[in-house]
Amino acid sequence: MAAIYSLYIINKSGGLIFYKDYGSAGRMDTNDSLRVASLWHSMHAISQQLSPVAGCSGIELLEADTFDLHCFQSLTGTKFFVVCEPGTQHMEALLKVIYELYTDYVLKNPFYEIEMPIRCELFDINLSLTVQKERVALLGR
């Protein structure tokens, strides 16, 4: 049983630039993942509008019946979100690590065009290692 179901990265205009599935039932096809990502982008923006107090920066955790969604927004507006089992801990830390990998292996890649889909081998490799490690840690707990 996977603790982490999937990972999405969306750019500042809501376009999906990275999607990885780690074993959810019925994998989403490309069109659906694009739609879901841009829907999340708008829901994130609307949640800021509805805040009762000033200074809201959007949804950080969505608790659904069968999964939790943790979202992290970088200062430049890129959003990283993971779908995981309900009650999974330490997802904020994992998202920060993924953000670091993104800055190191994607943004510093001279062939990467900003805001475009991520196709960097080193990022993929290091990401798999991180998620693998997280999974082992979760099993050990």
Query: Considering beta carbons, is residue 24 or 109 the nearer one to other proteins?
Result: 24
Query: Considering beta carbons, is residue 43 or 122 the nearer one to other proteins?
Result: 43
Place of tokens 């750019």: 11
Query: Considering beta carbons, is residue 78 or 126 the nearer one to other proteins?
Result: 78
Task: At 82, list the tokens.
Answer: 């993971």
If DSSP codes are grouped into helix, strand and coil, which group holds residue 81?
A: strand
Query: Does residue 89 bind other proteins (CB under 8 A)?
Result: no
Q: Kind and range of the H or E element at 31?
A: helix 30-49
Which DSSP symbol is given to 19?
E
Half-sphere exposure of 102 (CA within 13 A, CB side): 25
Distance, in Å, from the CA atom of 39 to the CA atom of 23, rounded to the nearest integer, reads: 22
Q: Which of 7, 9, 83, 131 binds other proteins (CB under 8 A)?
A: 83
Query: Considering beta carbons, is residue 27 or 119 the nearer one to other proteins?
Result: 27
If DSSP codes are grouped into helix, strand and coil, which group holds residue 36?
A: helix
- The interface with other proteins within residues 35-54 (CB under 8 A) comprises 35-36, 39-40, 42-43, 46-54
Query: Does residue 25 bind other proteins (CB under 8 A)?
Result: yes
Query: Does residue 113 bind other proteins (CB under 8 A)?
Result: no
Interface residues with other proteins (CB under 8 A)?
Answer: 5-6, 24-26, 28, 32, 35-36, 39-40, 42-43, 46-67, 69, 83
